[in-house]
Structure 1
Amino acid sequence: MVNITRAADLTMVGANGGAWVAPVGTAAPDSPLTHPLAPWAALGAISEDGLTNGWDEESQAFTPWGLTSPFRTQITQSVRTFSLTMWETSRKSVMSLQYRIDETEFTADVEGITRFAETASPTPDRRAFWFLVVDGENYRGFYVPDGEISERGDVEYKQDTMSGFEWTITTYPDASGNTVYHADKIPVTPADPLS
């Protein structure tokens, strides 16, 4: 009889988490469970949908003459994304990302009104991102040294809906050719009892 092993402590539930932003190339936080220091800025409350780490890959299969199955596959595109919805739409760090405007532009005048304009010709707005997913004592940290919001969702303003900025952030390679760095605390996998 096959002995199927299972370990609940090796699972991950995105029970809590956070997101921060900083200028491109800012070093990753020293400790994943310590609040990142300046220039890292918190992005605040994330919707109950949490964080989605996306993988968009394409490949080319090579099938030799006379066979019906490929004998080699080459990855031709590999893009990593992070998707989330930010609920604190009046937080300056969040507004800065949504509208591609420096935080210093969101300053109230003497009447307490903040005025800004959206450009018809946006320029690239790359930043560094730090995402943390926490499940009890376990966590997963994702450091993106160079990323940019590549998709923005519609924003609804209605009585029974929390307004939010829905983003997809595309990661770009840094000088070392890496797009995402991981800092995870996961339990040790127990030895197979029959090994």
Structure 2
Amino acid sequence: MVNAQNVLVGAPDQKTTGAILSAVLETELPTSPLETPDPAFQSSGYISESGLTVTPERSTSSIKDWSGAIIRQLLEEFNGTLAWEHLETNKQSLATYFGDDNVTVASATAETGEQMTAVLGAFELPRKSWLFRIKDGKKRVLIKVPDGQVTEQGEVSFIKTGAILWPVTLTTYPDSEGNNIYIITDDGEFAA
């Protein structure tokens, strides 16, 4: 039976914690969309209106019988990626884009405001644990990535007619259970 109440929208749940959070690898992950994350998880601020995209990628090889008909597909490779654009320029969003060790912040002085310096170079970005929090009214969705690494930094444009966006793609790696991404929903309807 169809039920329009099961149609969800993907709005960010950023009222109290931010919608995209990261912490050092192996930080304890929440088990429910309603659970407060470990304080080690840091929000990276506003995300652009294009939102969050989860892309599962599978490559397979075919087994064919004598006649050439495909009779089975074998999984050769799996990769799950998530992509988004940081709309806010702050220490955490720059640390996501450039890498934690590649962003420094100098406090304001009598002569300058707070200054952030970020560097690009030929180095790998850190692997971290990630949370993505989504809401639709009372309904909640939590996407957990126990082990993820920013592996693509998108093009950044500096123009007068639009915000500076910091686009990234996160590659996920399997956890001890062999899972890359967890998606947990809560319908917001509590038992009496």
Q: TM-score, normalised by structure 2?
A: 0.84
Deviation at residue 115 of structure 1 after TM alignment = 5.2
C-alpha change, 1:6 and 1:176, in structure 2 (3 Å) is closer
Cα drift, residue 78 of structure 1: 1.0
Larger Rg: 1
Is the 1:10–1:187 Cα contact (8 Å) retained in structure 2? no
CA contact (8 A) 1:20 1:41 kept: yes
Q: Go from structure 1 to structure 2 and tell me whether the alpha carbon gap of 1:98 and 1:19 turns closer, same or farther (over 3 Å shift).
A: same
Q: Deviations over 1:93-119 (max 9, x none)?
A: 111111113488323363335253525
| 1:29 alignment partner in structure 2 | 30
1:93-149 CA distance string (max 9 Å, x none): 111111113488323363335253525331341111100121122222111111011
**Paired position in structure 1 for 2:84:** 84
Find out whether 1:95 has 2:91 as its counterpart: no
Letter in 1 for 2:91: K
Shift of 1:35: 4.7
CA offsets per residue over residues 19-52 of structure 1, 9 Å max, x none?
Answer: 1010011111354235534211011111111111
Q: 1:148 to 1:33 in 2, by over 3 A?
A: same
CA contact 1:100–1:122 (8 Å) conserved in 2 = no
Segments of structure 2 that go 5 or more residues without pairing to the other structure are 14-18
Query: How far apart, in 1, do the equivalents of 2:87 and 2:92 lie?
Result: 12
Distance (Å, rounded) in 1 between the aligned partners of 2:77 and 2:162: 37
Stretches of structure 1 lacking an aligned partner (at least 5 in a row)? 189-195
Change (3 A) 1:12 1:115: closer
Q: Secondary structure at the match of 1:71?
A: strand
Q: Secondary structure at the match of 1:133?
A: strand
Aligned residue identity for 2:105: F
Q: Identity, % of aligned pairs?
A: 26
2:184 aligned partner, one-letter code: A
Distance 1:19 1:81, change over 3 A: same
Q: What does 1:175-194 correspond to in 2, within 5 Å?
A: 175-186=176-187
Q: Which is strand-richer, 1 or 2?
A: 2
Q: Which residue type is aligned with residue 94 of structure 1?
A: S
Aligned with 1:156: secondary structure?
Answer: coil
Which position in structure 1 is the counterpart of 2:11?
15
Contact 1:21 1:93 in 2 (8 A): no
- Return closer, same or farther for 1:120/1:102 CA change in 2, 3 Å cut-off: closer
TM-fit CA distance, 1:181: 2.3
Task: State how far apart, in whole Å, the 2-side matches of 1:33 and 1:178 are.
Answer: 21
The AA in structure 2 aligned to 1:98 is Y
Are the structure 2 counterparts of residues 99 and 157 from structure 1 closer, same or farther at C-alpha, using a change threshold of 3 Å? same
Change (3 A) 1:136 1:59: same
Tell me, yes or no, if the aligned pair for 2:144 and 2:183 is still in contact at 8 Å.
yes
The answer on whether the counterparts of 2:33 and 2:133 sit within 8 Å (CA) in structure 1 is: yes
Asked if the contact 1:96–1:103 (Cα under 8 Å) also holds between the matched residues in 2, the reply is: yes
